[in-house]
Structure 1
């Protein structure tokens, strides 16, 4: 059964020669009764040339919109590694969407997902080669392509940044379908602008069917020769949305006696785990392995998200932590780690690196 979160993936349809044509994908996101369609900049380049059609209960509806798009600095955006655009739709459209279409809220978004080797991600969208046309109707099917995180060497070779991009391995001719058979997947052209969703880090959830998906990015490129799907992290989209729509942001300086539902969580990087274990004075209180610690931590974050408490992973650096403890004359133990992460968190708030959005 398709998870409800995938109902946010939206077929982008234009009117060309007075006929509807599905060209790409997008993701619907609702923030404080504002409706945004997140997609790729190269998709928006095409949208600007033709009327945008919205599938509603009464058929296709032409709509006006405002939008933001990164400038095109390279022909056909060949060198655009961010490829970011969003469309702000009339909120009233929401109640008229065709059945099965519904926007995400911020509770479904993970802005600080930390990518590690062997993590799994799903790219979801509407391949336009699978679209069927009959008169003025369109039948378009949602596809999901799932793969493991690409290695750092691939990021380097394709000139992508692990901080802003998500890349997964995708060998189209050797995919496993829902029946467990090896098959050739359809060309992913048309899923540009579709969602990138994270899986629970606890792989056992995949077996039990208790997986929790979060939106972590927007897909934009298929590198066929390298067998890679690429996209951009969701936090860059939110940063531009908030910058262009300042009324969405709560001004903490003007709020008296209000504490945001936001929690910081110390995050240990896998490649520092052994150094951390050998340095901390209470290392015996940590989990035996990094894998055990990460599953416990990510399950805790998912629990907080289910309570509508936003989380931010604060990356732990052992050298920085030691300097902090020396400066403040603190032992290298648990309560000092909490203090260290809390101070980092407070610093980001003061430097306006964190934006608080409280949903109605």
Structure 2
């Protein structure tokens, strides 16, 4: 009989796959300041960096970390962004950068890209800890003491979506957004394999929320699905982070580019 421990092990086994397509986005080369997180996606022959709009709207200023030897790149390409007059009140907060041919080979040396089948559109959220988010908190990015090594550590957290009746109080829409719990006092430390106090979440904007199907226990398949991009650590309640469904991301891409990808039955991007 499979237990919750077996399921947790399956989620933890997914960590390397998630890390391989997740990057830290930085803005200051003098002290390597963390600005946000991004996820790499490949759809219809195009290669994208997906993140929060408030992160990618600084395109041309930010750079992506490639290696601990201070190798970085400013990614070029076309940005498709959710425009708003007031970013603070933007409940979508999503942008997509289509990477150009100059930067792509360098990024491919350090990262992998999710494929279309890894994106779980039309996902029905379950109020169980079948989900994880993985990003780069600003406090986990630093130059190691007395070295020239820039140490970047991801943060990986087990979580469950909140019930839909809680959304209205945060200006969120369950057809567009997802709200999940952050239990800072019981956070998983992937470096030690133990639970303890987690970090502040500044810097994780643009990270992925992933679903690990319990049915995968039968096959042992390690194939988490990207269900949302997380954009906001709620000021009203620090135990909650808010994201936007991946359906909105694929809808934005289809709006601007002619790609063969299924339509969402949950949300339509106009």
Instruction: Assess same fold via TM > 0.5.
Output: yes
Runs of 4+ more than 4 Å apart: 134-137, 176-182, 208-211, 312-315
Partners of 2:265 and 2:85 in 1: how far apart? Answer: 34
Q: Which residue number in structure 1 is paired with residue 10 of structure 2?
A: none
Q: Describe the shift of the 1:80–1:166 C-alpha distance in structure 2 as closer, same or farther (beyond 3 A).
A: same
- 2:5: which partner in 1? none
- 8 Å CA contact 1:7, 1:101 repeated in 2: yes
1:180–1:132 distance in 2 versus 1, CA, 3 Å = closer
- What's the counterpart of residue 212 of structure 2? 199
Q: Secondary structure at the match of 1:97?
A: helix
| CA distance in structure 2 between the aligned counterparts of 1:158 and 1:97, rounded to whole angstroms | 36
In the other structure, the counterpart of 2:3 is: none
Give 1:34 shift: 1.6
SS of 2:66's equivalent?
Answer: strand
Q: Hey, what does 2:243 align to over in structure 1? A: 231
Matches within 5 A, 1:25-104: 25-45=37-57, 47-48=58-59, 50-53=61-64, 55=66, 59-74=71-86, 77-91=87-101, 93-97=103-107, 100-104=110-114
- Aligned counterpart, 2:177: 165
Structure 1's unaligned 5+ residue stretches are: 251-309, 316-352, 355-360
Contact residue 94 and residue 102 of structure 1 kept, 8 A = no
Query: What are the residue-to-residue correspondences of 1:263-302 with 2, within 5 Å?
Result: none
8 Å CA contact 1:38–1:85 kept in 2: the answer is yes
TM-score normalised by structure 2 residue count:
0.79
Aligned counterparts of 2:36 and 2:21: Cα–Cα separation in 1: 14
8 A Cα contact 2:158 2:188, kept in partner: no
* Structure richer in helix, relative to its length: 1
Structure 2 residue 267 is the aligned partner of structure 1 residue 218: no
Report the Cα distance in structure 1 between the residues aligned to 2:40 and 2:195, rounded to whole angstroms. 32
1:145 to partner: Cα distance: 1.6
**What is the match of residue 118 of structure 1?**
128
> Could you tell me which residue of structure 2 aligns to residue 187 of structure 1?
200
3-state DSSP of counterpart to 1:243:
helix
For each residue in 1:104-132, what CA deviation from the matched residue of structure 2 results, as whole angstroms up to 9, or x when unmatched?
A: 11021111111133252211111111101
What's the CA shift for 1:32? 3.1
In structure 2, relative to structure 1, the CA distance for the partners of 1:15 and 1:29 (3 Å cut) is same
Match of 1:108 among 112, 118, 132: 118
Going from structure 1 to structure 2, the CA distance change for 1:31 and 1:245 (only over 3 Å counts) comes to same
Match of 1:143 in 2: 155
- Cα deviations by residue, 1:121-166 (Å, 9 ceiling, x for unpaired): 2111111111012687532111112211112232122121111111
Unaligned runs of 5+ in 2: 1-12
Deviation at 1:62, TM superposition (A): 3.0
Deviations 1:282-325 (A, max 9, x none): xxxxxxxxxxxxxxxxxxxxxxxxxxxx7x8979xxxxxxxxxx
Distance 1:139 1:152, change over 3 A: same
1:193–1:314: structure 2 CA closer, same or farther, 3 Å change rule?
closer
Number of aligned residue pairs: 250
TM-score (norm 1): 0.61
Q: 1:181 and 1:29, CA in 2 relative to 1: closer, same or farther beyond 3 A?
A: closer
Per-residue deviation, 1:92: 5.0
Look at both structures and tell me which one has the larger radius of gyration over its CA atoms.
1
CA offsets, 1:37-64, max 9 Å, x none? 000011123x247253452799223343
